[in-house]
Structure 1
Amino acid sequence: MANTAQSMGRLPSGLGICTSLPDIFYIPELIFGGLVWCLVASTYVFPSNPQGWVMFVSVFCFVVTFIWLVVFTCDGHRSSSGWAAADFGYHGFAAFLYLSSSVVLAYITITLKDIFYILDPKYYKINIAAVVFSFVTTLLYFLHAIFSANRWKDF
């Protein structure tokens, strides 16, 4: 067993994901991504196409990150050696998706400020909170990708 753990390098398993540097970001990514999802869903979705993109990104990344967390927790990554590269690839891709949706959400919130105020000022405040949490989530995914790249390089 020790030989297997030694050959897998620094990929965590079980509750070890709560202590390793790149993987400690899983829980905050899920929390802040879920907040973005809930906040955008609770507002008046106008216009629907850009806001739909934000919803797609937040739901997609939430679901895939949760599956990724479960795989690492249940030792599903022990069967193959490409998990370090896949971890970096996914989190880099998720950071790019979240950056694109964060910029779109910020643009829509700033551009349609007056319309949101006519409908209800709380929609504008909720959209501002969604923009802030979306950029925080982008930062978390980016940091996870950077630390995963370092782990992949050392692997």
Structure 2
Amino acid sequence: MASNTGQMGYLPSGGAIFCTIPDIFYLPELIFGGLVWCLIASTYIIPYNPQAYVITVSLFCFVVTFLWMMIFACGAHRNRSSWAGADVAYHAFATLLYLSASVLIAYWCILYRDGNGDMGITSYKLDIAASVFCFVSTLVYFIHTIFSAIRWKSF
């Protein structure tokens, strides 16, 4: 019987990363992280808000996740358990970064719920959408961390 979780103790490379768990989560991480990045970048920036931190987190995680996915796709990891441990460490770190960014942008939306005229309400709605996608990104990174830890323990 076929399994989509891949072989235990095996790090896939090439196109197999798009068919195995946890590596299948790379694409949702990039999509939702890119949405957070775009939504925050398109809002009106008001002084003393956490948008700079949120966009820094989303940009950092987007770039590093893309590079990490390319390392696995090109087979540069050579099926070593140290790469599996590094995968767990990176995704746990990214989960914490996204969780802190999610809480900050949600708190900012609660404080700024009235808006200032037409431009303010549009920025508020974009911040709300960014907050939702930031929490979704946190969830996807968390799920990837859990499955990466299971894979790492199987080495």
Given the two structures, how large is their TM-score scaled by the length of structure 2? Answer: 0.90
**Kept in 2: contact 1:35–1:133 (CA 8 A):** yes
**Kept in 2: contact 1:39–1:127 (CA 8 A):** yes
Deviation at 1:13, TM superposition (A): 0.3
Question: 123-132 vs 90-99, which deviates more?
Answer: 123-132
Q: For 2:63, give the aligned amino acid.
A: V
Higher helix fraction (1 or 2): 1
Q: C-alpha distance in 2, partners of 1:116/1:125?
A: 12
* Corresponding position: 1:37 with 2:37: yes
The unaligned stretches of length 5 or more in structure 1 are 1-7
**Kept in 1: contact 2:35–2:133 (CA 8 A):** yes
Cross-structure match for 2:15: 15
Q: For 2:132, give the aligned amino acid.
A: V
| Superimposed CA distance per residue, residues 104-154 of structure 1 (whole angstroms, 9 cap, x where no aligned partner) | 000001101223556332211111110100000000000000000000001
**Kept in 2: contact 1:116–1:124 (CA 8 A):** no
**Kept in 1: contact 2:49–2:108 (CA 8 A):** no
Taking the TM superposition and a 5 Å limit, the aligned residue runs for 1:1-155 are: 9-48=9-48, 50-78=50-78, 80-117=80-117, 119-155=119-155
Question: 34-43 vs 74-83, which deviates more?
Answer: 74-83
Identity fraction in percent: 59
Given the two structures, how large is their TM-score scaled by the length of structure 1? Answer: 0.90
The unaligned stretches of length 5 or more in structure 2 are 1-7
Quickly say closer, same or farther: Cα 1:150–1:137, change in 2 above 3 A: same
Q: For 2:77, give the aligned amino acid.
A: H
| Superimposed CA distance per residue, residues 49-85 of structure 1 (whole angstroms, 9 cap, x where no aligned partner) | 5111101100000000000000000001017541000
> What's the Cα RMSD here?
1.6
Q: For 2:71, give the aligned amino acid.
A: V
| Superimposed CA distance per residue, residues 2-22 of structure 1 (whole angstroms, 9 cap, x where no aligned partner) | xxxxxx932110000011110
Residue 66 of structure 1 aligns to a residue whose secondary structure is helix
